[in-house]
Amino acid sequence: MTDKALAVGDTDVFIPVSINEETCIGCNLCVMVCQPDVFVPSIDPGGVPVVLYPSECWYVGDCVDVCPVPDCIALHVMDKNKVIWKRKESGEEFQLS
């Protein structure tokens, strides 16, 4: 089938993880550790995994923890899923990035 068509990630939804294509070594540890199977391996050996099912992400960060390359993969949390903090003195509300 791969000679006729390729699966590509949906870009119309929020993308929970991003991979630095310059530093990724294609070890696929993130693919293996991800329980809901957000990623699929690249068709190219040693290639960068594809985020194929972004809406399945659990936002726990196992993929980030397992990656052997510092700062290669990043987890992005939707603003609506972040805790809203309120400073006691000023009343200012903020969210952590």
**15 makes contact with ligand SF4 (CB under 6 A):** no
**58 makes contact with ligand SF4 (CB under 6 A):** yes
Q: Which amino acid is at 69?
A: V
Q: Tokens 């040693």 correspond to what residue?
A: 46
Going residue by residue from 23 to 52, which x/- string records binding to ligand SF4, judged by CB under 6 A? -xxxxxxx--xx-x-x----------x---
**85 makes contact with ligand SF4 (CB under 6 A):** no
Q: In the complex with ligand SF4, which residue's Cβ is closer, 82 or 94?
A: 82
**63 makes contact with ligand SF4 (CB under 6 A):** yes
